[in-house]
């Protein structure tokens, strides 16, 4: 065994299982330096980490440190400076990391790799966060896909069949002992105002929490997933998105675990649908890699001429869940109270922002980036552009969700809406999603005074729909 240690740089791969960088460093036979850097250069990028992401990261790092027996090395500063300095101090000849795909991280990693190679050191990088590399899922002519279905069917399923099998977790790691290991608290990730106390009971960040969440979904949620996933009061969603974003579990692991249940329980339709949702995540990263301006510019440039409104008051009412449309308000309040929002409801609130209120999709993207625990640049930007109609394979501009019928269809018993809009809990189902239509005596019996207990609608649906259609037709 050589005495030269191996440095493993953790980023969005905060796990031991199916972690190629950690696995190959372990296989080298060297003691390791497991390093996480709160990179100040990233915090100065166009997309500094949001408050909810910092909260999750704090707990995820605590979990990772526990799994490494307290040996995680934490630093704050520039990775471009810290990694070469540690490599020089401890005579590190081999540096291992798993790839990231955000534009600024791609550039940073390329520059850092060149610096380390100039110093005579070897860099080993791997795919840990995706099932397939974005440069391996292009069309036969080398151009990137812009439509999901052929991307998933041809570039993923037909070309590869399935992602690679997950790698096992290293069994016995040895560590460099004479190195400073500050506590996670020193990164100062938790907010000064304890808003996070209402969010924390809903989640268990970390690799163990991710595996338990997957276990629960496969046992109780995968069956009837294809239809049940659209109903926010049901358990047919995985809620794995923050675990996947921070790399506490790999998409390869999720895919193969679901495939095993597919065979054991005969859940072909539900599992194929769930696998395709993992495919949508791949498609978002495919788009971000090949079109790095996706988070900031319309994918379809004709939308540059769209007549967006500027209304801080309307934006604030949307953010606070005070639009007067109960299913919209329920979703925005779920986000604020839990750091998460059901995917069907994300589509409803997104459509409402860009089409009913005609506020730029960037406002929604920014709000989700700061408040979602699963805030992910590829997923967030691709999804908001899809909702707006400006993105790749986007929803057609004339598809304007009716928040009344969406609530009635997907929350028919009102369990979800009443949970987050309790001021309407005694309103009959008939009027739950349009309380302004209820007769005065029904409102009185339910203890609801519109404009006092619950707001009047921010805008009439029919008028909003026509205004949006007029705006889109101008393109």
Domains in the chain with CATH codes: 6-128 (3.40.50.620), 130-165+206-290 (1.25.40.80), 301-473 (1.10.579.10)
Question: Collapsing DSSP states into helix, strand and coil, what is residue 96?
Answer: strand
pLDDT at 406 over 60: yes
Residue with tokens 């004709």: 302
Question: How many Cβ atoms are within 10 Å of 339's Cβ, its own excluded?
Answer: 25
Tell me what the pLDDT averaged over the chain comes to: 96
Q: How many residues does the chain have?
A: 475
pLDDT at 250 over 80: yes
pLDDT at 416 over 70: yes
> Which among 405, 279, 284 is positioned nearest to 348, based on CA atoms?
405
Helix (H) or strand (E) holding 33: strand 32-39
Which residues are within 8 A (CB) of 295 and not within 5 positions of it... i.e. 6 or more apart? 46, 47, 288, 365, 377, 380, 381
DSSP sequence for 187-206? G--S-SS-GGGGTGGG---S
Question: Collapsing DSSP states into helix, strand and coil, what is residue 301?
Answer: helix
pLDDT tens per residue, range 186-226: 999 999 989 999 999 999 999 999 999 999 999 999 999 99
Which residues are within 8 A (CB) of 458 and not within 5 positions of it... i.e. 6 or more apart? 314, 317, 318, 322, 323, 324, 325, 356, 357
pLDDT at 344 over 80: yes
CB 454 within 8 A of CB 423: yes
pLDDT tens per residue, range 283-313: 999 999 999 999 999 999 999 999 999 999 9
Whole-number Å distance between alpha carbons of 143 and 416: 43
What backbone phi and psi angles, to 5 degrees, belong to 8?
-110, 115
CA neighbours closer than 13 Å in the CB half-sphere of residue 419: 14
pLDDT at 409 over 50: yes
Whole-number Å distance between alpha carbons of 21 and 25: 6
Helices marked H in 28-170: 40-43, 51-67, 79-89, 103-118, 148-150, 159-160
Tell me the two tokens of residue 321: 């869940």
Whole-number Å distance between alpha carbons of 294 and 361: 12
Average pLDDT over residues 425-434: 98
Residue-level pLDDT at 282: 98
Residue-level pLDDT at 397: 74
Residue with tokens 């307290």: 70
Whole-number Å distance between alpha carbons of 102 and 79: 15
Classify burial at 470, counting beta carbons within 10 Å of its beta carbon; exposed 0-12, middle 13-18, buried 19 or more. Answer: exposed
Tell me the two tokens of residue 437: 């239509």
pLDDT at 395 over 80: no
DSSP state of 359: B
Average pLDDT over residues 379-389: 95
Question: How many Cβ atoms are within 10 Å of 41's Cβ, its own excluded?
Answer: 15
What percentage of the chain carries pLDDT values higher than 90? 95
Question: Per-residue confidence at 1, pLDDT binned at 50, 70, 90?
Answer: very low
Tell me the two tokens of residue 253: 């692991």
pLDDT tens per residue, range 55-78: 999 999 999 999 999 999 999 999
DSSP state of 3: S
Residue-level pLDDT at 2: 52
Distances (CA, A) of 61 to 37, 214, 296, 351: 11, 20, 30, 35
> Which among 168, 127, 172 is positioned nearest to 23, based on CA atoms?
168
Tell me the two tokens of residue 344: 């069907």
Q: Which residues are catalytic?
A: 277, 280, 308, 343, 361, 384
pLDDT at 464 over 80: yes
Question: How many Cβ atoms are within 10 Å of 190's Cβ, its own excluded?
Answer: 15
């Amino acid at each position: 065994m050589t005495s030269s240690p191996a440095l493993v740089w953790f980023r969005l791969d905060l796990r031991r299982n199916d972690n190629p960088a950690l696995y190959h460093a372990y296989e080298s036979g060297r003691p390791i330096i497991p390093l996480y850097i709160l990179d100040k250069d990233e915090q100065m990028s166009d997309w500094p980490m949001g408050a909810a992401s910092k909260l999750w990261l704090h707990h995820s790092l605590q979990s990772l440190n526990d799994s490494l027996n307290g040996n995680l090395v934490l630093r704050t500063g520039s990775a471009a400076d810290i990694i070469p300095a540690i490599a020089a101090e401890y005579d590190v000849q081999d540096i291992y990391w798993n790839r990231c795909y955000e534009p600024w991280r791609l550039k940073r990693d390329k520059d850092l790799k060149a610096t380390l190679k100039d110093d005579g050191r070897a860099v080993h990088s791997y795919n840990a966060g995706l099932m397939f590399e974005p440069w391996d899922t292009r069309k036969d002519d080398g151009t990137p896909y812009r439509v999901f279905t052929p991307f998933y069917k041809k570039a993923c399923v037909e070309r590869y069949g399935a992602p690679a099998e997950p790698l096992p977790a290293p069994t016995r790691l040895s560590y460099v002992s004479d190195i400073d290991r500050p506590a996670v608290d020193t990164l100062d990730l938790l907010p000064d105002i304890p808003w996070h106390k209402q969010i924390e009971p809903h989640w268990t960040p970390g690799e163990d929490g991710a595996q338990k969440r997957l276990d629960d979904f496969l046992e109780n949620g995968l069956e009837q997933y294809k239809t049940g996933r659209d109903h926010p009061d049901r358990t047919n969603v995985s809620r794995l998105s923050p675990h996947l974003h921070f790399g506490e579990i790999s998409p390869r692991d999720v895919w193969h675990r679901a495939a095993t249940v597919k065979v054991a329980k005969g859940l072909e339709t539900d599992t194929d649908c769930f696998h395709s949702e993992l495919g949508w995540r791949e498609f978002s990263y495919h788009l971000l890699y090949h079109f790095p301006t996706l988070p900031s510019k319309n994918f379809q440039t004709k939308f540059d001429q769209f007549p967006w409104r500027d209304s801080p008051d309307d934006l604030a009412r949307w953010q606070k869940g005070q639009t007067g449309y109960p299913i919209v308000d329920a979703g925005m309040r779920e986000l604020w109270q839990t750091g998460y929002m059901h995917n069907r409801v994300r589509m409803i609130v997104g459509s409402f922002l860009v089409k009913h209120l005609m506020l730029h999709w960037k406002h929604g993207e920014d709000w989700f980036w700061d408040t979602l625990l699963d805030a992910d640049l590829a997923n967030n930007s691709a999804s908001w552009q899809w909702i707006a109609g400006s993105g790749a394979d986007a929803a057609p501009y004339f598809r304007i969700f009716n928040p009344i019928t969406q609530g009635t269809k997907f929350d028919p018993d009102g369990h979800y809406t009443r949970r987050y809009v309790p001021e309407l809990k005694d309103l009959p189902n008939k009027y739950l999603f349009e309380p302004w239509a209820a007769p005065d005596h029904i409102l009185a019996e339910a203890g609801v005074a519109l404009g006092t207990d619950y707001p009047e609608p921010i805008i009439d649906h029919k008028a909003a729909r026509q205004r949006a259609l007029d705006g889109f037709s101008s393109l």
